[in-house]
Amino acid sequence: MNLLATSINHKTASVELREALYLNSDEIKEYFKNTKGSLFSEGLIISTCNRTEIYGIPLNKSTGPIEIQTALLKLKSVSGLKDDNFQYFLSANAVRHLFSVAAGIDSLLIGDNQIFKQVKDSFQMAEENNFAGFLMKRIFDAAIKAGKRAISETRISEGAVTVSYAAVQLIEKIFSSLNRKSALIIGAGESGELAAKHLSERGIRNLTITNRTLQRAEKLAKSLNARVIPFSEFKESLHEFDVILSATSSDNLIITKEDILLSVKKRGYNPCVLMDIAIPRDIDPEVRNIDYVFYNDIDSLNIIVQQNLLRRKEEIPKVEKILDEELFTFMNWYNTLEAAPAIKDLRDYFEFIRAEEVDKNKNRFSTEDQEKLEIVTKRIINKILHHPTVELKKFAESGMNGDEAAIKISIIRELFGMNKTISDVTSNK
Amino acid sequence: MKIVIDISNFIIPVLYIISFGFYFYDFIKAEKKFINLKRFSFCLTLLYHLIYLLLRTFEFDHPPITNVYEIFTILAFCISFSYFILELVTDIRGTGPFIIIISIIFQIISSALISDVYQVKEVLRNHLLGIHVFSALAGYSAITISAVYGFLYLILFNDIKLNKFGLVFNRLPSLEILERLSYISAIIGFSLLSVAIIIGVIWLPKAFPHFSYLDPKLIGTSLVWLLYGFGISSKFFGRWQGKKVILFSIIGFVIAISSTIVTNFIARSFHSFY
């Protein structure tokens, strides 16, 4: 198999270089246009914030990483690139790499299943632009199958690996169902927005947002169908919320122990969860000593994140095993693509010789014996070809080493002159 | 039939230990393949235990309530059976090992020390007494389960407060669910104890000439019943919640156990049948 893959990713390049080589959908289409028919017969491009990867079946055997890189740099003029910034994969290794990407074990956040969707979208784009053909479709299907198996058969994607999601996971360890709870998000910055989205996705009944800049809170609230309260008034409503998540950039504490004591009293001592994901902290950590209050700051949430990441890392060998199985299945299928025509050609070649010789000599036999001659010669040919046919099938089914199978098949073709057409064979006689 | 009963005496604790093994392994590893296997094994154990109880009833011609070790095997069954129903209804499977271990303790003591009693007082063959004792035992089983969930609540509560995110944090259901399970178990326990007390108050004076309302077991059970009634109503009317309800459930259980030990093993009364 001659699949080529080039990757620049979080393991090989800084975020600046990755950003510089990020291809948007228009640039990907441009790359398709530039290389389809000149460099590749078909291919696929995955471009995310953590990686830009180009997969392709080259038209010429001489096509290599330099050509792929040159085509990429035609679109993006980036300085400071070194050879080390790129990874190159060939044949089965390229397929294996795509499987690793789809399964999330090559991601910055191990087990991140966002990449699974990104691989799907990338293929869809390649297909819509006629860049993905028969072989890429099969490779993509195999990658998706491998990714799905990794997610469903292992725990590679389990547990929160971001602070904001860890906060939600912890809230769900206290309250059984968020659809009867109300939450207040203080701060509509990146962390607050992410936490608000997670809570909304988990079905929180009432979501309220407050922010120093009201417009920003309103914008976020609109996208999440949430309520907004002015920042100057939120303290008066603290008792209304089962969950309070604070993520402002304030230099000082914005919620004191006294505020929470008052709120708990107003709530009739109903349990309340306080998540402080701001640096520096927004909520007085002393509130953790109040009996009906669960308080966590970014350090404690990071413990959950690190534990989950460790657990995901421990799942990598299981995922690798699944990917190897899927690669073996895929390579089996691919090798049969080469073996099946070789078997057919070999049989056609022998049948041609048999039929020709029988035709030449059949007049030497009586009419009754001519029929027997047909049967006997066919039987001889079948017996001669039985072992080579079995061996060819074995090459094909030997799995991983597709190159070795291809060499053996080409030797057989060479030995019997099967690279020539049957008319070539006859004209040489 | 006697030999089957004798063999079953040995097999039942083994079956409980096997089920506990599956539940415990699943608690530690959370392997998906064990989800159905552990439930199947536990179901089989309960079925076998039920057959064993019926065999004893038919063979000895009285319900197995005539001595403390027969009571223990019924308690083991009731605790596990109540948990099994709770697991089926709620589909919360992570708390099994903490309940089954209690059944194992009761069953091992029972299997080791149980005796075959053919001759019993005539009153022990009475059906009303059977219902009275079974409902009391099922009630105590339910409050035991309530207390176990209470303990689990406190462990998880402390783990979250102290930022300990270990096995307990990862495997147990949420605090709210544990509180609810403890509360539901307490309600079931309270209802069954109510049945036992009602039957007792109506029937016992007729059956026992030395009946006394000052009987220690009667006072103990009534005290436990009142305590749970107060706790349940406090939760129901929203006066108490969370840790306070849980602590009350655990205190109720400790009083119930202490009362049972005192009234069964120390105080003498008409209420002792063995």
pLDDT of residue B133: 85
pLDDT of residue A45: 94
Question: Annotated catalytic residue: which of A11, A14, A38, A49?
Answer: A49
CA distance A177 to chain B (A): 9
Beta-carbon separation of A270 and B241 below 8 A = yes
pLDDT of residue B171: 87
- Structure-token match 């948990």, residue found: B83
Cα–Cα distance for residue pair B130/B195, rounded to 1 Å = 12
pLDDT of residue A399: 54
CATH superfamily of A163-291: NAD(P)-binding Rossmann-like Domain (3.40.50.720)
Geometric angle at alpha carbon B133, from B129 and B135, rounded to 5°: 115
pLDDT of residue B245: 85
Q: List, for residues A295-308, the tens digit of each pLDDT value.
A: 999 998 999 999 89
- Amino acid at residue number A107: S
Cα–Cα distance for residue pair B34/B27, rounded to 1 Å = 10
- Alpha carbon dihedral A317, A320, A324, A330, in 10-degree steps, equals 160
H or E element, residue A182: strand A182-186
A55-58, long-range: CB < 8 A, 24+ apart: A55/A3, A55/A4, A55/A5, A55/A94, A55/A98, A55/A136, A55/A139, A56/A3, A56/A4, A56/A5, A57/A2, A57/A3, A57/A4, A57/A133, A57/A135, A57/A136, A58/A2, A58/A4
B243 contacts in A (CB within 8 Å)? Answer: 291-292
Q: Is residue A49 annotated as a catalytic residue, yes or no?
A: yes
Is pLDDT at A429 greater than 50 in this prediction?
no
B156 contacts in A (CB within 8 Å)? Answer: 173
Cα–Cα distance for residue pair B99/B96, rounded to 1 Å = 5
Beta-carbon separation of A294 and B160 below 8 A = yes
- Alpha carbon dihedral B119, B121, B124, B125, in 10-degree steps, equals 60
pLDDT of residue B258: 83
Average pLDDT of chain A, as a whole number: 88
pLDDT of residue A425: 45
Give me the helix-helix angle, A298-361 and A367-397, nearest 10°. Answer: 160
| Residues 6 or more apart in contact with residue A209 via CB below 8 angstroms | A184, A185, A188, A192, A196, A217, A220, A221, A224, A226, A227, A228, A229
ipTM for the whole complex = 0.81
Partner-chain residue, chosen from B156, B165, B174, that has the shortest CB–CB distance to A304: B165
Handedness of CA B156, B160, B162, B163 (dihedral sign): positive
Q: List, for residues A187-233, the tens digit of each pLDDT value.
A: 998 889 999 999 999 999 999 999 999 999 999 999 999 999 999 99
Partner-chain residue, chosen from B160, B180, B238, that has the shortest CB–CB distance to A173: B160
Partner-chain residue, chosen from B163, B174, B242, that has the shortest CB–CB distance to A173: B174
Write out residues 117-156 of B within 8 Å (CB-CB) of A: 156
| Residues 6 or more apart in contact with residue A324 via CB below 8 angstroms | none
pLDDT of residue B273: 56
| Residues 6 or more apart in contact with residue A384 via CB below 8 angstroms | A350
Beta-carbon separation of A296 and B163 below 8 A = yes
Give me the helix-helix angle, A25-35 and A65-75, nearest 10°. Answer: 130
Report yes or no: B130 and B65 within 8 Å, Cβ to Cβ.
yes
Report yes or no: A86 and A6 within 8 Å, Cβ to Cβ.
yes
Beta-carbon separation of B165 and A307 below 8 A = yes
| Token pair for B219 | 């006072």
pLDDT of residue A193: 92
Return the SS3 of A168. Answer: helix
Bridge partner residues of A5 (DSSP)? A55, A89
H or E element, residue B104: helix B96-113
Q: Kindly identify which residue of chain A lies nearest to residue B178, measuring between CA atoms.
A: A176
Tell me if chain A has a CB within 8 Å of the CB of B177: yes
Residues of A with CB under 8 A from a CB of B: 170, 172-177, 268-271, 288, 291-292, 294, 296, 300, 303-304, 307
Report yes or no: B86 and B100 within 8 Å, Cβ to Cβ.
no
pLDDT of residue B272: 59
Is pLDDT at B76 greater than 90 in this prediction?
yes
Report yes or no: B77 and B49 within 8 Å, Cβ to Cβ.
yes
CA distance A292 to chain B (A): 8
Partner-chain residue, chosen from A175, A269, A307, that has the shortest CB–CB distance to B176: A175
Cα–Cα distance for residue pair A390/A412, rounded to 1 Å = 13
Q: List, for residues A157-192, the tens digit of each pLDDT value.
A: 888 888 888 999 899 999 988 999 999 999 998 889
Average pLDDT, stretch A329-334?
A: 86
A294-301, long-range: CB < 8 A, 24+ apart: A294/A170, A294/A174, A294/B160, A294/B161, A296/A167, A296/A170, A296/B163, A298/A163, A300/B163, A301/A163, A301/A166, A301/A167, A301/A170, A301/A275, A301/A277
Report yes or no: B246 and B153 within 8 Å, Cβ to Cβ.
yes
- pLDDT band with cut points at 50, 70 and 90 for residue A401: low
Q: Kindly identify which residue of chain B lies nearest to residue A177, measuring between CA atoms.
A: B176
Beta-carbon separation of B177 and A176 below 8 A = yes
A271 contacts in B (CB within 8 Å)? Answer: 175, 241-242
Residue ranges of the domains in chain B?
Answer: 1-120, 121-274
- pLDDT band with cut points at 50, 70 and 90 for residue A426: very low
Maximum average pLDDT range among A72-81, A375-384, B23-32: A375-384
- pLDDT band with cut points at 50, 70 and 90 for residue A77: confident
CA distance B163 to chain A (A): 6
Is pLDDT at B204 greater than 90 in this prediction?
no
- Amino acid at residue number A286: E
Pick from A153, A169, A173 the residue to mutate for testing the B interface (most B CBs within 10 Å). Answer: A173
Return the SS3 of A185. Answer: strand
Pairwise pLDDT comparison (B9 vs B129), residue with the higher score: B9
**A308 HSE (CA, 13 A, CB side):** 23
Burial A303-333 (b: 16+ CB within 10 A, else e): ebbebbbebbeebbeebbebbeebbeebbbe
Q: Report which of B33, B32, B34 is spatially closest to residue B22, judged by C-alpha positions.
A: B34
Residue ranges of the domains in chain A?
Answer: 4-155, 163-291, 330-428
User: Which whole-number Å values give the CA distances from B243 to A39, A83, A270, B92, in the listed order?
Assistant: 69, 61, 10, 20
The phi and psi torsions of A87 (rounded to 5 degrees) equal -110, 140
Q: What is the pTM of this model?
A: 0.74
CA distance A82 to chain B (A): 43
- Give the rounded percent of residues in chain B with a pLDDT score beyond 90: 36
The phi and psi torsions of A189 (rounded to 5 degrees) equal -75, -165
Beta-carbon separation of B238 and A268 below 8 A = yes
What architecture is the A4-155 domain classified under in CATH?
Answer: 2-Layer Sandwich (3.30)
Cα–Cα distance for residue pair A156/A103, rounded to 1 Å = 8
Q: List, for residues A97-129, the tens digit of each pLDDT value.
A: 999 999 999 998 898 878 889 999 999 999 999
Cα–Cα distance for residue pair A217/A229, rounded to 1 Å = 9
Q: Where are the alpha helices (DSSP H) in A111-256?
A: 114-128, 134-153, 163-174, 190-201, 214-224
| Residues 6 or more apart in contact with residue B195 via CB below 8 angstroms | B131, B135, B139
| Residues 6 or more apart in contact with residue A307 via CB below 8 angstroms | A159, B165
B160 contacts in A (CB within 8 Å)? Answer: 170, 173-174, 294
